[in-house]
Structure 1
Amino acid sequence: MICPHCERDLLRKERTGNICGRCKRPYALDPKTNSLRLGDLRVRRITDGLTDDGRIRVTPGQLWYALTRRRLTASAFAPGCAGWALFGGVLFGLWGVLGGMTYMLYAAGALLAAALGVLVARETGAGLGIPPMSRAAFRSEALAAWLRVYGSLPPGLVDDGGHPWPRRPANAPAPTAVLVCPDASIAAFLAADGLPERHGIALVQGPEQVTPLLPALPERAPVLVLRDADAHGELLLHRLRETLPGRRVVDAGVSLRTVRGLAKAVPYRDRARKPAPEEMHRLAALGQFTAQELKWLARGWRFPLVGLPPARLLAVVDGLAERIGRSVDPERRDAAEVGFMTWPGAAGGGPDAAGGR
């Protein structure tokens, strides 16, 4: 690996105890000792890309997905294992037949059975999409090691632990909308980049926090739902629409059918969030999903919000919040109608090419 300090290529024996044998300085992550094969330089490079070279701030959840993404498309059962087992089985089988050694035939049978098992596992997708390091382990292992060595998170990263949903003061003006976002990483990301304050939006964790805000909401103000494309996200959207009759509920999350059709969208499976049978019955009763989609959801597959490019996600939610603000606030709506929020001299008085920000 390359030392993140002196940038020299180090052999395994030259970096005992995560200390560079050349410059004698400690580093946080060694690709040989963590399941994501992370090194300090890779973490910095990926973080720079996520933050758009420091223009925005991101969270550990978003960094975890970016570092895990390419490992999600590989099966846990490598083809080389099947190849070596098959080769050994044939070799031992010939040896047993030619030498008249029965125990060699048993060994050959075991190796051939192992090779067949690996091939079947790969064909059925066993182990596919399961992260080698969970989000929780990324925080407790990789980020903890980083903090021990450097004393702070990588530049551009904001903590998503604790309770990142902003608390609204009792005397705060009525919000233009409510944004429900159960993912702490995305809530911390939006709050760190100033979206709630910029648009006067109340950012909350779940349906329980929406009800107390309803009396103060303008009649035209919607409830936005920013959720993952998984069984729990679909049920959250349906629950809000059931419990808020008469209030417009806008799905601001990723569409299951859209994301499954994108070649670059890489889902994963979370064993801890696999939907229960009763939850799948509720989804099936909605009549909105095909049998194939229900099977995909039942296996725990999901595409998370943390998997979306942060700059793109922020721009989309920003644009949606701006449009909602104009529809709710009469003064802003009138200003937009007379071209106040368009570029001077823009042909046809079209919207700001910079996204209205």
Structure 2
Amino acid sequence: MICPHCEQNLLRKQRTGNRCSFCKRDYALDPKTNPLGLNDLRVRRVTAALTDGGRIRIVPEQLWYALSRKRLRDSEFGQGCLGGAFALGAFVAFVSFVAEAPVLLLASAALLLVGSGIAVARAVGVGAGVPRVSREDFAAQVLGAWRRTYGSLPPGVLDTSGSTHGPAVPAVAPGAAGTAGVLICRDRAVVAFLDAAGLLARHGLASARSPEEVRAVPSSGPVLVLHDVDAERELFVRRVRETLPGRTVVDAAPPLRTLRARPNAVPYRDPGRKPDAEAMRLLSGLGTLTPEELKWLGKGWRYPLVGLSPARLLAVVDRVAGQVTRRVDEDRRRAAALGFLTWPGPAGPGPVGGP
């Protein structure tokens, strides 16, 4: 690996204890011991790309997904066994011919059959899409080592470890006449990301986790729903509309069809979160998904919001929020012009010569 400080190419014996033997400085991540195969230089490159060179700030969960993309895309099923099975099978076949022991051909055939099975499984994607390091473990296994070495998180990554984004968080811009609408998002990391970018305040949006919490917000404006693009998302949007009759409810997440058509969009799957039979029945009844999309969702595949490009996520939510709150803003401006939303200022001095 390359030392992130002096850029020397280090052999394994030259970097024991995560310390460069040339410049004597510590580094955080060694690709031989890190479960994601990371090194400090790669983390810096990926962070710089996600933050657009420092223009925007991201949350740790977005960095987790970006650093996991390669492992999610590639199948690791039988990794290390595939080559071994073929090599051993070829060796046994060679020995059987040299020793004139036909019985060994059976063992060779079995080994080659195992290798072929692993190759086919990898080709069809068995093992792909499952994170090597979970979202919950990323902070300890990667960011913890980084913080111990450098004293802080990578530049541009928000420290959200001590933050609490409670329900119905008002985020109205200074001087705004009130809350223009509500954003429902159950992923607190995404809310923290949007809030840090000033998007909630810019559009006068409060944040809530559920349609029940929306009722606590003093606003009758539109409700934006932001959810991972998965099977649960489709049903959650329907529940929000049923729970809040009369309110304008807008699905602010990108459509599944759009994401699946993008070659650089990498989904993941959680075998423990597959939709059950009832959920699949309800999804099928919506009539908005193709049979192929239903089959894909039924296997537990999803596009998490933290997996979308941070800049693109900001642009999409900003555009949707601007469209649905524009009418509210126009109404508020007209009301303010009529004086309904302004208090009279203190009386000034009367005209010269007046009382």
TM-score by length of 2: 0.84
| Equivalent of 1:168 in 167, 170, 188 | 170
Tell me which of 206, 211, 232 is aligned to 2:210.
206
After superposition, the C-alpha distances for 1:233-252 in whole angstroms (9 at most, x for unaligned) are 22211211121122111010
Please give the per-residue CA displacement for 1:254-280, whole angstroms capped at 9, x wherever unaligned: 211111122221111123432233322
Look up the equivalent residue of 1:217 and give its one-letter code: S
1:173 CA displacement: 6.1
Matched AA of 1:269: R
1:15-30 superposed matches below 5 A: 15-30=15-30
Superposed displacement of residue 289, structure 1: 1.9
Shift in Å at residue 331 of structure 1? 5.4
Distance 2:99 2:145 in 1: 55
Task: Give the direction of change, closer, same or farther, for the CA distance of 1:160–1:254 in structure 2 (3 Å limit).
Answer: farther
Please identify, of 103-112 and 78-87, the stretch whose mean Cα deviation from structure 2 is larger.
78-87
184, 188, 191: which is aligned to 1:184? 188
Computing the radius of gyration over CA atoms, which structure comes out larger, 1 or 2? 2
Return the offset for 1:83: 5.1
Q: Deviations over 1:170-217 (max 9, x none)?
A: xx964101111122221110011111222210022232321222xx22
Deviation of the 1:333 alpha carbon: 6.4
Indicate the residue corresponding to 2:224 in structure 1.
Answer: 224
Q: 1:97 to 1:4 in 2, by over 3 A?
A: closer
Find the residue that maps to 1:31 and give its secondary structure: coil
Match in the other structure for 2:339: none
Mean Cα displacement is larger for which, 98-107 or 138-147?
98-107
Quote the offset at 1:307 in angstroms: 2.0
Give the CA deviation at 1:287: 2.7
Counterpart amino acid of residue 26 in structure 2: P
2:44 is aligned with 1:44: yes
Structure 2 CA distance for aligned equivalents of residues 112 and 177 of structure 1: 62
Task: State the one-letter code of the partner of 1:267.
Answer: P
Does the aligned pair in 2 maintain the 1:146–1:152 contact within 8 Å?
Answer: yes
Aligned to 1:355: none
Preserved CA contact (<8 Å) 1:225 1:251: yes
How far residue 334 of structure 1 moved from its aligned partner, in angstroms, is 6.2
Q: What is the CA distance between 1:99 and its match in structure 2?
A: 2.1
Deviations 1:96-146 (A, max 9, x none): 255243663343133123112202312432111222222122112101111
Partner of 1:57: 57
CA contact (8 A) 2:18 2:30 kept: yes
Code of the residue aligned with 1:210 in structure 2: it is: V
Kept in 2, the 8 Å contact 1:207–1:240? The answer is yes
Identity among equivalent positions (%) equals 53
How many angstroms apart in 1 are the aligned matches of 2:264 and 2:66?
12
User: Aligned partner of 1:186: which letter?
Assistant: V
Q: Amino acid of the residue matched to residue 41 of structure 2?
A: L
- The 3-state SS of whatever aligns with 1:154 is coil
Give the counterpart letter for 1:207 in structure 2. P
Q: 2:211·2:244 contact (CA, 8 Å) conserved in 1?
A: no
Contact 2:64–2:138, Cα closer than 8 Å, also in 1: yes
Does residue 260 (structure 1) correspond to residue 264 (structure 2)? The answer is no
- Whichever residue aligns with residue 281 of structure 1, its letter is R
1:121-136 alignment runs, 5 A limit: 121-136=121-136
Matched letter for residue 164 of structure 1: H
For 1:284, give the aligned amino acid: S
Distance in structure 2 (CA, Å) of the matches to 1:126 and 1:49: 30
SS class of match (2:55): coil
Which piece of structure 1 moves more, 102-111 or 232-241? Answer: 102-111
Distance 2:114 2:160 in 1: 43
| Residue of 182, 194, 197 corresponding to 2:198 | 194
Q: Is the 8 A contact 2:224 2:321 kept in 1?
A: no
Letter matched to residue 165 of structure 2: P
1:112: which partner in 2?
Answer: 112
Structure 1 window deviating more from structure 2 (40-49 vs 131-140): it is 131-140
Counterpart CA distance in 2 for 1:145 and 1:271 is: 29
SS of the equivalent of 2:325 reads helix
Going from structure 1 to structure 2, the CA distance change for 1:34 and 1:265 (only over 3 Å counts) comes to: same
Change (3 A) 1:87 1:155: closer
Q: Could you say which residue in structure 2 is the equivalent of 1:276?
A: 276
> 2 CA distance for matches of 1:111 and 1:2?
38
Are the counterparts in 2 of residues 28 and 149 from structure 1 also a CA contact under 8 Å? yes
Which amino acid in the other structure matches residue 222 of structure 2? P
Letter in 2 for 1:321: A
CA distance in 2, matches of 1:261, 1:247: 32
Partner Cα distance (1:330, 1:263) in 2: 39
Where structure 2 has 5 or more consecutive residues not aligned to the other structure, the ranges are 336-355
| Matched residue type, 1:198 | R
Match of 1:101 in 2: 101
Tell whether the 8 Å contact from 1:254 to 1:305 is kept in structure 2 after alignment: no
